[in-house]
Structure 1
């Protein structure tokens, strides 16, 4: 079962406690090497979170190529629990020299002073997609280089599509068109549309209505635009054309899609591997999400290469980041385990080589990051709980609670 993109956020509160025990900028007990404990000399320790043997294998091979080219030895450490091990490393003043840092953890680390803001000094700093640079910037400074990214798209079961008499001309590009095809695809055996009943999916429709949750230092959750996004989904639910995975006896949207219980779902490129592994006979396409009255919108989920503050191995670590973010290496990674390159040149080439994923690449032009400032996790979790009653709830009431909780969290995060 595919875990929610918000799973890691549940650990943020505990993480803050762990990080509070750390001492950035060389304060505190210090490690064997002093400072932040990053190792010195011609070796690097790189902590990754592997989606499987293909991802770990790629980085082992990339590390070997880097060592051959530079002479710097690289140890690739595959985490069993990335967030826990990363927190423990900082708490013990012995963080890895480089590490995966997911989008939903970035501001927590940056705001507490644990990250080296090295990305703006990279030789290829100008090559990254602008949306990803913004995602991994804090106080207008580009902190860590994006490793890769994914966006949300609309998956369509082509067999069900054809059986409903739909053609390429019917692929939805607007909310009205989405409602029309979702109704046409709904029958006794399947529902037209399904997706996770969570902010990481529902929030996209709020954005497409012209809404947003945060504007600068002000929370804007309780706006008419955000309510319109919820009301649109309520209309689909009332029509019977939108049903959430648990009500289809499925653990997530991809499972409902693979089982043939939903003809369309809202997921990211990870669905390709899920279908290949679990439902190899499912034929489908991915297209861009339809635009709402506020225009197109999708979410971007990305990971960057984090580096501890005042790193002793900054030069070698920077060289490794530059190496693995070349278009050549990013395309090797894409071929190995399906990620989308974070550079403009890499993403363009990827879209040409993997046209089935072109919609995900196109989405980065208008993608936004889900709200993920330090402390937002609890507010989002509460909102997800409230969304269990979205079918009958008053949208304004749902958003009022989110407004209050998010503003309190933002006030605390901003000090």
Structure 2
């Protein structure tokens, strides 16, 4: 073999080693969709035949599915969420979102799903239920996933119910406050020129409207302790807080006894007693007028007034477009008591399951929904409720109805976050059951108050 031949073989060998090395470096990596395996064969002939085979394999990234559970304030909210989910999946093709709506006993059902090992990855948690979920270890600390700079964009007062031992367990998706919604045309027919300024005027206007128009003046829910609290606090009662059995003494406060009796009798006297006397009621619950909830009763113009939150605004716009804000209906602050005005503030987090198999993927979805784009599109533009992230107060896309409710903030002496203590959710449900029984006339207001005291003592006795 001559020198030239030998040099040629050496050169070919070096080139072939380079081809092999190049094939190995380029062969790794993951994509979001499958692609076929490619096989390349290179054959070089000199005096000795050499064959090299380079194989490139593409691994397939599996799609992760994140289950997201919430309740719904109506068809409008569900449609808005599905639109945002579609956008998220388009931007994140490796993550799929399974949206589940639970219509009844939401928190109880979520807690039960943990026991069965089938809890969703992301789910709503109301401020009143937050302590229970945190104590049960059901929530992944959001402070372990989110940057502090992102957390600092939210209103601090909305974060308080979701903190414990230096950890933050969720960020609010939005918030709402109670306001008085009233039908301007029914008011005009009844000769009433302005919304009620006090709780006493609220009841009196309801009576006048029923007498003059034949429509009930006010719709309320049976029970619903949280809707009663502004009445108590605006009349001088302290904010309710139940952490130990002795806190049941809140119900011994004379203001609480007086105002709770008044609130129960709105329905007991305004509906039950009136019908027993053969008269038209001036207070009803939604079901009494063939409605599913307060927004439905108000939108159908079956009642003149309801006390509800910002979540009712998009429902009315979507389901009753001919019932025009400003022309047919308007919003006013809650009536005042003897000690000023008070309202309730409601907020809900998108909690992440502490046992989720995909916490980072879940957080990516949560961050999308709660971030500036989500707040702008889902909350501000869609008019869903009020944005929980700072900086949107004067956004030109904010609906005028929501801007008006925000303008009431300066009139309130107390804005009360829906939280009564570590067992707020349980207490709220049991308080409401006792109140509802009294409203239906199944027990007296005094018996209901005593029952509520006993509930606190039993639930917090250890």
CA distance in 2, matches of 1:316, 1:351: 33
- Report the CA distance between 1:154 and its aligned residue: 0.7
**TM-score normalized with structure 1 length:** 0.73
- Residue number among 263, 266, 269 corresponding to 2:304 in the alignment: 263
Matches for 1:159-170 after TM superposition, within 5 Å: 159-167=185-193, 170=194
Matches for 1:394-413 after TM superposition, within 5 Å: 394=445, 396-411=446-461
- Report the CA distance between 1:330 and its aligned residue: 0.7
- Report the CA distance between 1:293 and its aligned residue: 2.4
**SS at 2:188's partner residue?**
helix
Q: Does the CA-based 8 Å contact 1:54-1:337 persist in structure 2?
A: no
**Relative to structure 1, is the Cα distance of residues 355 and 179 closer, same or farther in structure 2, using a 3 angstrom cutoff?**
same
- Residue number among 83, 95, 114 corresponding to 1:74 in the alignment: 95
**TM-score normalized with structure 2 length:** 0.66
Tell me what 1:382 maps to.
Answer: 433
CA distance in 2, matches of 1:85, 1:41: 30
**Relative to structure 1, is the Cα distance of residues 234 and 88 closer, same or farther in structure 2, using a 3 angstrom cutoff?**
closer
Moved more, 303-312 or 105-114: 303-312
CA distance in 2, matches of 1:44, 1:356: 37
CA distance in 2, matches of 1:77, 1:136: 25
- Residue number among 167, 178, 193 corresponding to 2:202 in the alignment: 178
**Relative to structure 1, is the Cα distance of residues 323 and 276 closer, same or farther in structure 2, using a 3 angstrom cutoff?**
closer
Tell me what 1:31 maps to.
Answer: none
**SS at 1:79's partner residue?**
strand
CA distance in 1, matches of 2:124, 2:286: 31
Structure 1: tracts of 5 or more residues without a match: 1-39
Moved more, 317-326 or 195-204: 317-326
Larger Rg: 1 or 2?
2
- Cα distance per residue 1:144-196 (max 9 Å; x no partner): 111122322111101112333444xx333433443454444332512322211
- Residue number among 408, 417, 424 corresponding to 1:368 in the alignment: 417
Tell me what 2:331 maps to.
Answer: 286
CA distance in 2, matches of 1:405, 1:45: 38
- Report the CA distance between 1:276 and its aligned residue: 4.2
- Residue number among 214, 218, 222 corresponding to 2:241 in the alignment: 214
- Residue number among 384, 387, 392 corresponding to 1:341 in the alignment: 387
Moved more, 147-156 or 377-386: 377-386
CA distance in 2, matches of 1:233, 1:351: 39
Does 1:202 find its partner at 2:206?
A: no
- Report the CA distance between 1:259 and its aligned residue: 4.1
Tell me what 2:295 maps to.
Answer: 254
**What is the root-mean-square deviation of aligned Cα atoms in Å?**
3.7
Tell me what 1:296 maps to.
Answer: 341
Tell me what 1:16 maps to.
Answer: none
Q: Does the CA-based 8 Å contact 1:119-1:143 persist in structure 2?
A: yes
**SS at 2:348's partner residue?**
strand
Tell me what 1:325 maps to.
Answer: 370
- Report the CA distance between 1:243 and its aligned residue: 1.0
CA distance in 1, matches of 2:231, 2:166: 28
**Relative to structure 1, is the Cα distance of residues 326 and 247 closer, same or farther in structure 2, using a 3 angstrom cutoff?**
closer
Tell me what 2:132 maps to.
Answer: 108
Q: Does the CA-based 8 Å contact 1:50-1:56 persist in structure 2?
A: no
**SS at 1:154's partner residue?**
strand
Q: How many equivalent residue pairs?
A: 365
- Report the CA distance between 1:256 and its aligned residue: 3.7
Tell me what 2:84 maps to.
Answer: 59
- Cα distance per residue 1:100-129 (max 9 Å; x no partner): 323454222111122122248543222222
- Report the CA distance between 1:333 and its aligned residue: 0.4
Q: Does the CA-based 8 Å contact 2:67-2:100 persist in structure 1?
A: no
- Cα distance per residue 1:331-375 (max 9 Å; x no partner): 2002347233212323x2469721112354457771320545364
Tell me what 1:225 maps to.
Answer: 255
- Cα distance per residue 1:236-280 (max 9 Å; x no partner): 665878512268434443344344442111122333344345544
- Report the CA distance between 1:402 and its aligned residue: 0.2
- Residue number among 316, 329, 340 corresponding to 1:275 in the alignment: 316
CA distance in 2, matches of 1:299, 1:351: 26
CA distance in 1, matches of 2:286, 2:142: 43
**Relative to structure 1, is the Cα distance of residues 254 and 98 closer, same or farther in structure 2, using a 3 angstrom cutoff?**
closer
- Report the CA distance between 1:324 and its aligned residue: 2.6
CA distance in 1, matches of 2:349, 2:94: 21
- Report the CA distance between 1:285 and its aligned residue: 1.3
- Cα distance per residue 1:183-219 (max 9 Å; x no partner): 4433251232221122243343233333343254323
**SS at 2:125's partner residue?**
strand
Tell me what 2:284 maps to.
Answer: 244
- Cα distance per residue 1:295-353 (max 9 Å; x no partner): 3222333321212337665455445433332233212002347233212323x246972
CA distance in 2, matches of 1:313, 1:288: 43
**Relative to structure 1, is the Cα distance of residues 91 and 345 closer, same or farther in structure 2, using a 3 angstrom cutoff?**
same
- Cα distance per residue 1:22-64 (max 9 Å; x no partner): xxxxxxxxxxxxxxxxxx9995614133644523423323423
